[in-house]
Amino acid sequence: MMTGHKILVTGPTGQVAFPVARAFAEAGNEVWGAARFTNATARDGLEAVGVKCAVVDFVEGDFGALPNDFDYVLDFAVMKANSWDADLDGNAGGLGFLMEHCRESRAFLHCSSTAVYQANGHHPFAETDPLGDNHRIYSFMATYSISKIAAEAMARYAARRFQLPTTIARLNVPYGDNGGWPAIHLDMMLGKMAVPVHTNGPSVYNPIHEDDIIATIPKLLEIASVPVTVVNWAGNDTVSIEEWCAYLCEITGVEGSTVATDETLESVAMDLTRMHALVGTTTVGWRDGMRRMVAARHPELLQP
């Protein structure tokens, strides 16, 4: 774990970024969190673990309340307004303004998503594979894939424009004590709702535990470069939604089911050759990680 640095974490109230901000603050870094902070409780939670908070506006490019002398920037901010204007301005334009504001930093980590890949059945995606719009099937997330691709394009430009060493890390199914897709699936099963899986089953992913997300960040910053370094960011284990839902039922006693549909994501399995070479491997196995997730979020359900 890095220590003694001044670090900016954007989107720090989110599922992924909050544990990151907390961990780096507890390790002895001066951590700042940048967001709109419309939720006072979320801001209080960050300040309680030692994170300094600054109100910013990515859509307007307003970073006036934020210092610009950070050693490192960890960018987890994401707009999900489902408005093309707001999401393109926030995710792409806002990132450009942020990289300009923090152009003197040693390294910049932009958290992208494996949602940028064009759906291709059970093909394990490498960083050189075609990009595409795999989220248009969701009416409530129609802008997501396109705006994430646009943000990557902005990161590529700004890294060269400001000579700011940058890593674009494409994250695949983050989860842990603070939630994630498997946690949502457990809550669905608790609510007697069937979990959707694609008709071209099984629906395979590489979930990554928040402990491994935190542990790999120093290396992701170390490999930042101009032009950018692009790398998949995922767990070692390749596992399907069907498998993890069955396991969650097994360890909780909850009765659950899945339902096959074309109106959900196809598999997004990862080729981790580049990640393993540049960053290393992950350490939290998916069963252990999901058991820990249940213990943190629903301890009353966990079977002996």
* Other Cβ atoms within 10 Å of 138 Cβ, number: 14
Domain boundaries, the chain: 6-179+208-237+268-284
**Model pLDDT, residue 137:** 81
Preceding peptide of 124 cis, ω within 30°: no
Question: Which amino acid makes up residue 105?
Answer: S
Q: Is 6 exposed, middle or buried (0-12, 13-18, 19+ CB in 10 A)?
A: middle
**Model pLDDT, residue 304:** 81
In whole angstroms, give the CA distance from residue 284 to residue 208. 8
**CATH number for the 6-179+208-237+268-284 domain, one of 3.40.50.10490, 1.10.240.10, 3.30.10.20, 3.40.50.720?**
3.40.50.720
* Other Cβ atoms within 10 Å of 141 Cβ, number: 15
CB of 227 within 8 A of CB of 159? Answer: yes
Q: Which residues contact 119 (CB under 8 A, 6 or more apart)?
A: 132, 134, 265, 266, 268
CB of 83 within 8 A of CB of 62? Answer: no
Residue labelled with tokens 């006693």: 253
**Model pLDDT, residue 36:** 93
The gap from C-alpha 282 to its chain's centroid, in whole angstroms, comes to 15
Q: What pTM was estimated for this model as a whole? A: 0.96
Q: Which residues contact 65 (CB under 8 A, 6 or more apart)?
A: 54, 55, 56
Residue labelled with tokens 């252990």: 288
The kind and range of the H/E element at 92 are none
Query: pLDDT tens digits for the chain (304 residues)?
Result: 899 999 999 999 999 999 999 999 999 999 999 999 998 999 999 999 999 999 999 999 999 999 999 999 999 999 999 999 999 999 999 999 999 999 999 999 999 999 999 999 999 999 999 999 988 888 778 999 999 999 999 999 999 999 999 999 999 999 999 999 999 999 999 999 999 999 999 999 999 999 999 999 999 999 999 999 999 999 999 999 999 999 999 999 999 999 999 999 999 999 999 999 999 999 999 999 999 999 999 999 998 8
CB of 123 within 8 A of CB of 117? Answer: no
